[in-house]
Amino acid sequence: MEKVDYNYAIVRSFVTWSIIWGVVAVLVGVIVSLQMVDPDLNFPPYLTFGRLRPIHTNAGIYGWGVGSIFATFLFIVQRLCKVPLWSNGLAKFQLWFFNATIIASAVTLLLGYTTSKEYHEMEWPIDVMIVILWVAFAINIIMTILKRKDEQMYISLWYMMASLVGVAILFLVNSAAEPVSLFKSYSAYAGTNDANVHWWFGHNAVAMALTAPPLAMFYYFLPKSTGVPIYSHRLSIVAFWSLIFMYLWTGAHHLLWTPVPDWIQTLAMGFSVMLIAPSWGSVFNGYLSMNGQWHQMRENYLVKFLILGITFYGLQTLQGPMQAVRTFSAFIHYTDWVPAHIHMGTMGWVSMIAFGSIYYLTPRIYGKQLYSIPLANLHFWLILIGQLIWSISLWVAGVLQAGMWNAMNPDGSLTYTFMETMVEMYPYWWARAIGGVIYFIGVLVFIYNLVKTVGKGDEESSEQALAEGRA
Amino acid sequence: MDLASLIYLGVTFGLFVIFALIVIRTYSKKRKDTGEIAKFRMLDDD
């Protein structure tokens, strides 16, 4: 077989930097969770909850999430297409421009420059940087796919291309703004149109950055880890297209009970419920791929990460549509239930898949066996327990909060003041902070394991590494 | 129903038709083997 000169150096660099930004994201998350229980931990003007919270979300989504997407896509595209990257120079430019963009975002957010649009807080000069970054990435991936050796494209490539196109469209439309100075711009849209476009972007950023890419990773790394193919490639294709057709209509479910027209809200609600089908198409495909292989959940640490990841995806995509129903939304919207939902997706689904993927990659891109499988298992349990403490405590908090907000006296006055509802939240907020600390310790175990792996002296063949990955 | 609503409905229906065609093509008996070949090829030694 002809030996292909794959570029693993760029994959190694992206793995490293995505982990660095992941540490920042989780650490800042722990800090802001502590600021919620002890306001004295706010140090104005820079280190306040208001400025640190967007750094937490952006470092998590764009630094850790997108960084690990860059790493895995650049690996997967070469292996699936059986050709080297189209341009190594462009990939190197992408790496350093990625880091420059993340640093510029963090600095400007700390300084208080913000559009105030959630998940799109960065001002217009950084938007321009993000567009350049994404175009460079997209060109390299698409050109590599075009020179592939197999005509039939595996499902991961479809999800990768959808992500490239989807993010580009969403970002460009939502970025439309009129700059009035170097660090201030105003949206091109007004009022409810602005809100509608913003949440069309916001929810579909979840689709195209935090759903399609992890699915690409899951569909690639699960069969590679188990050694058996996915249950049905055709089911994955139909689930893919139905996800693409349905997702883009759902954004307005973030705007239920607002001045946005009722029919838009109803449309978003309907499509959100329909979205269960494609989501669970992938979940079932994952589970059915494990037929006869469930023993690997016990024996193969990679499978544990990947199957728990897809399980959280399944739970997330049941809970999400439920929240998109008007009556349920009326109860839980604006409560702590919502961040619990988001964190089951980010810490449970996306991060589990990313961790599993990086564990798969590391022996192959460094040519060394993983330092310690027991430590990988410890990492798994710490992040699982941390995330569950975090999510469950805030689901309970959200229901309690909603109940207290809605409680009324016989004369129609509110039973509780807002401050009384706040005081009731403290035990749950402490539980969230503790869950965050446990998760952070899990991340430190992960890093220690990888650092020790990379520092090991013994080089080995990819076959040995593969065998080790299944051990 | 005004023109904008009709266009909206038309686009929605058009998208549904495209989706239906994708499903029919994906699950056609003629394409059963080619539709599944990629999942085996990705496991080849690369």
pLDDT in tens, A312-346: 999 999 999 999 999 999 999 999 999 999 999 99
pLDDT computed for residue A125 by the predictor: 97
Residues of chain A predicted below pLDDT 70: 1, 458-471
Question: What is the predicted pLDDT for the residue at B1?
Answer: 77
Q: Does residue B8 belong to any structural domain of this protein?
A: no
| Nearest residue of A to residue B37, measured between CA atoms | A152
CB–CB contact A241 B45 (8 Å):
no
Which residue is closest to A5 within chain B, CA to CA? B46
In the three-class reduction of DSSP (H, G, I as helix; E, B as strand; rest coil), residue A189 is classed as coil
Query: Is residue B40 in some structural domain?
Result: yes
| A261/chain B closest Cα distance in angstroms | 14
Nearest to B19 among A230, A233, A242 (CB): A242
Instruction: Encode pLDDT of A347-372 as tens digits.
Output: 999 999 999 999 999 999 999 999 99
Q: Give chain A's end-to-end CA distance (angstroms, integer).
A: 27
What tens digit of pLDDT does each residue of B2-28 get?
A: 899 899 899 989 999 999 999 999 999
- Residue pair A400/A394 in contact (Cβ under 8 Å)? The answer is no
Cβ contacts of A230 on chain B, cutoff 8 Å: 39
Map residue A106 onto helix, strand or coil.
helix
Q: How far is CA A149 from CA A3, A6, A139, A289, B41, in A?
A: 13, 14, 18, 26, 11
Q: Specify the pLDDT at position A129.
A: 97
pLDDT score, position A199: 97
Based on the fold, state whether residues A300 and A425 are members of the same structural domain. yes
In whole angstroms, what is the distance from residue A141 CA to residue A8 CA? 15
Which residues of A are less than 8 Å from B42 in CB distance?
A: 80, 154, 156, 220, 223-224, 229
Chain B CB contacts of A223 under 8 Å are: 39, 42-43
Q: Do B46 and A237 touch (CB under 8 A)?
A: no
What is the distance in angstroms between the Cα of B13 and the nearest Cα belonging to chain A? 12
Q: Which two tokens stand for residue A96?
A: 């350093």
**Alpha helices per DSSP H over A334-372:** 337-343, 351-366
- For A281, the token pair is 């198409």
What's the domain range around B43?
Answer: 21-46
Structure tokens at A422: 């706040």
Residue with tokens 């559009």: A115
Closest CA to A309 of A241, A398, A431, A219: A219
Task: Say if the Cβ atoms of A229 and B19 lie within 8 Å.
Answer: no
Q: What is the structure's pLDDT at A469?
A: 46
Q: How many CB pairs under 8 A join A and B?
A: 58
Q: Determine the 3-state secondary structure of A77 from DSSP.
A: helix
A276 and A180 in a single domain? The answer is no
pTM metric for this prediction: 0.94
Same domain flag for A332 and A469 = yes
Same domain, A116 and A257: no
Determine whether B30 is exposed, middle or buried from the number of CB atoms within 10 Å of its CB (0-12, 13-18, 19+).
exposed
> Do A380 and A301 meet the contact criterion of CB atoms below 8 Å apart?
yes
Query: In the prediction, which pLDDT does A464 show?
Result: 55
Angle at A292 between CA A287 and CA A298, to 5 degrees: 80
In chain B, how long is the greatest CA-to-CA distance? Answer: 59
Q: Is residue A328 domain-shared with residue A351, that is, in the same domain?
A: yes
The whole-angstrom distance between B38's CA and the closest CA on chain A is: 5
What string of DSSP letters covers A295-311? THHHH-HHHHHHHHHHH
Query: What CATH number is given to the structural domain containing A304?
Result: 1.20.210.10
φ, ψ (nearest 5 deg) of residue A291: -55, 125
From the CB of residue A172, how many other CB atoms can be counted at a distance below 10 Å?
A: 13
Please count the structural domains in chain A.
2
**Whether A123 and A152 share a structural domain:** yes
pLDDT of residue A457: 76
B2 falls within a domain? no
Q: What is the dihedral of CA B27, B31, B35, B36, to 10 degrees?
A: 100
What residues does A187 pair with on adjacent strands?
A177
| Nearest-neighbour CA in chain B from A119: distance (Å) | 29
- B residues 12-41 closer than 8 Å to A (CB): 15, 19, 22-23, 26-27, 32, 34-41
Residue whose structure tokens are 């229901």: A399
If contacts are CB pairs under 8 Å, which of residues 42-61 in chain A contact chain B? none
- Domain with A291, as residue range(s), is 196-471
- Contact list, A229 vs chain B (CB under 8 Å): 39-40, 42-43
Q: Of the candidates A188, A216, A231, which is a domain's last residue?
A: A188
Query: What gap in Å lies between CA A384 and CA A232, rounded to an integer?
Result: 29
Q: Final residue of a domain: which of A153, A188, A223?
A: A188
